[in-house]
Structure 1
Amino acid sequence: MMNKRFFQILCTTAALTMSLTVAASAATDVQKLNERIEAAHLVLHELMDTPDKGIPDDIAAKATCVAVVPGFKKGAFIVGAQYGQGVVSCRTGHGWSAPVFIQLTGASFGLQAGGQSTDLVLVGTTHDAFERLLHDKVKLGGDASVAAGPVGRSTSASTTEVANAAFLTYSRNKGIFAGIDLTGDVVHQNTDDTTAYYGSDVTYEKILSGGVPPKPGSEHFIRTVNQMFHASGAH
């Protein structure tokens, strides 16, 4: 009887320990994801402090979705590999949505060496851009048209390529903000991080359509997106 009771206590203790470990791990995951969102918020906030070098007002006015990839890594030696983790918010009828998590991957070829890290901002300007983000992955320049975005608040999207692009792409490196060509790069849904953050298997469509309230850790990011892309317009 004593051995049986001891075994029951041992099993209960092990189950409790495992439960606490899982809970602690989940809390750590959410904290890391909040840090990623905060890093994206800082990228946008710094852009707001450079009004003459930012995203043009007419592009901000028609933006349907905004993706920010802080610290996009590009390592290279003959063949370059590119990888980054980021977040996306889309315009809804009552502001901007809670964020979902994405990954951006790509490759470049040529005689190159070394590596660098840069912040990326992708601005979706069409309904198609929103729809494409609901797919598991979207290849820029293949599944959706893409162009390097113009810079300067009063600058207009003057070229046909820019005017017709579903996504306009920008980079910020060492304080310099400029358009960048990301043709061939692939945006992947990061469903693992999105599920870990919201605690249930919610869909990208529900989140990006405004059906999921933002968590406290993402409020700074959403507020900054609202400030930068304040003009009304629906996707």
Structure 2
Amino acid sequence: MKLDRRTVLSGTAAAFAVPFLGSQPARADAKRQSLVDSCLATAQKILGGPDFPDAAKLMTNARGVLIIPELVQGGFIIGAAGGRGVLMGRNAPNQWSYPSFYIMGSGSFGLQAGGKVSEIVFIIRTEKGLQAIIDHKFKFGAEAGVTLVAIGAGLEGASTTAGGADIVAFANSQGLFAGISLEGSYVDADNDWNALYYGGGANSKTILTEQRFTNPGAEPLRQYLAKW
């Protein structure tokens, strides 16, 4: 049987096009999965490491956790800062939600001493604190009734220092470090990333509150948090 040359060329083009198109979502997911994996590594370091002995204690009754594996600071003392991370809520004892992607930024992220903040874990202790972050763009120091305590590496007594704080931040940095100031910093849901990781319709509320989306790539992080 004689094949039409246009048919052969069309079929050849399709054979090359299908694998190419099919690889696009995999590359997109890899970028987001890499952040989820980095969040797991940060949680293991801060919640399970020796530098923050009080972090694990506060996790016992935590309502949620926001993990920022890398916050890049623009200036030495004062400068722009930015980073990405995930927010997760506790649905039941030893059961955590799937992660929702968030952006953290600031126009003036100040260090009380020199150093580069590289990792932060926010332990959200109250429902009020969790809902304040989920409901809208959250700005530290500007939310009425929501209190924050920030603690640096090597500083003990966090359980006492935290007092009645809604959110306690444990920050690990490279180089010299003597505490941080989060005043003016903000976190906001990145629903573009949520949709790419979970599918259309995924946003912070449908992931965290309605629990409508899942992704097996987040299971190691969920299982690690299930220790508390």
When normalised by structure 1's length, the TM-score is 0.76
Q: Write out per-residue CA displacement over residues 54-85 of structure 1, whole angstroms, 9 at most, x where no aligned residue.
A: 33454212211111111210011685010001
Structure 1 residue 148: deviation in Å? 1.1
Q: Figure out how many residues of one structure are paired with residues of the other and give that number.
A: 220
Q: Look up the match of 1:233.
A: none
Alpha-carbon distance between aligned partners in 2 of 1:163 and 1:13, rounded to the nearest angstrom = 65
* Cα distance in 2 for residues equivalent to 1:198 and 1:103: 17
Deviation of 1:49 after TM superposition, in Å, equals 4.3
How far did 1:109 drift?
7.2
In proportion to residue count, which structure has more strand?
1
* Percent of aligned pairs with the same amino acid: 25
Aligned to 1:100: 100
8 Å Cα contact 1:147-1:181 kept in structure 2: no
Larger CA deviation: 165-174 vs 99-108: 165-174
* Structure 2 counterpart of 1:38: 37
Unaligned residue ranges in structure 2 (runs of 5+)? none
The CA RMSD measured in Å over matched residues stands at 3.7
Q: Is the 8 A contact 1:117 1:173 kept in 2?
A: yes
Match of 2:39, SS state, is helix
Q: Normalising by structure 2, what TM-score?
A: 0.78
Which residue identity lines up with residue 27 of structure 1 in the other structure? Answer: A
Deviations for 1:123-159, whole angstroms, at most 9, x for unmatched residues?
A: 1111112212223410011124322148789846334
Give the structure 1 partner of residue 69 of structure 2.
70
Q: What is the letter of the counterpart of residue 108 of structure 1?
A: S
1:83 aligns with 2:85: no
Q: How far does the alpha carbon of each residue in 1:94-148 deviate from its partner, in whole angstroms, 9 at most, with x for none? A: 610000100000122789xx98351111111111122122234100111243221
Residue 167 of structure 1 aligns with an amino acid whose one-letter code is I
Where do 1:1-235 residues align within 5 Å?
A: 17=17, 21-51=20-50, 53-76=52-75, 80-93=79-92, 95-108=95-108, 116=116, 118-143=118-143, 144-149=146-151, 155=157, 157-159=159-161, 162-174=162-174, 180-209=180-209, 211-212=211-212, 214-227=214-227, 230=228
Question: Larger relative contact order (C-alpha < 8 A, sep ≥ 6)?
Answer: 1
Q: Give distance in 1, aligned partners of 2:58 and 2:131.
A: 18
